[in-house]
Amino acid sequence: MRFESLTPRISKHYLLFIAALVWTFAGGMLEYRGYSYIMAYPHFLVIRIIVCILGGTLFFNLLFSKISGKHVARILNLSIERPCIFSFFNWKSYLMMGIMISSGIMLRITGAVSPEYLSLIYITMGIPLLMSSFRFYYSFFKS
């Protein structure tokens, strides 16, 4: 029995949808956690949310837009029609995702950053993830 036969495969078209769901889940989870923390510290709430939106949009425009664009192009240009269902990321992106998740968990568990400020980080980082997911949804529905 060959290893390839055990690999769960999906069409490139639906791989875009799986990627969109993963990016939506990650961004949504950060937004949910961030807003649940930020509501406990309501002073200057509107200003803090505006700063998060501006920061998240800046992150998207400077970094995440390029990253998500590269992932969409990579998926569409895969040489096989039914790649592995986990190939929506390359290995570098899985490594980066692991580092980011671990860092967020460590910051929360150790208390190195107050939840008041951690909420701002979560919201700011959730915004570009959600914005990036729209590129995957768009590519899915367009193709």
Residue 116 CA to residue 42 CA, distance in Å, equals 10
Domain ranges of the chain: 10-76+88-93+108-142
- What is the chain's pLDDT, residue by residue, as a tens digit (143 residues)? 565 667 899 999 999 999 999 999 999 999 999 999 998 988 899 999 999 999 999 999 999 999 999 999 999 999 999 999 999 888 888 999 899 899 989 998 999 999 999 999 999 999 999 999 999 999 999 98
What single string gives the DSSP state of each residue in 4-22? GGGS-B--HHHHHHHHHHH
Residue 18 CA to residue 15 CA, distance in Å, equals 5
3-state DSSP percent of the chain in helix, strand and coil, to 5 = 80, 0, 20
Q: pTM of the prediction? A: 0.89
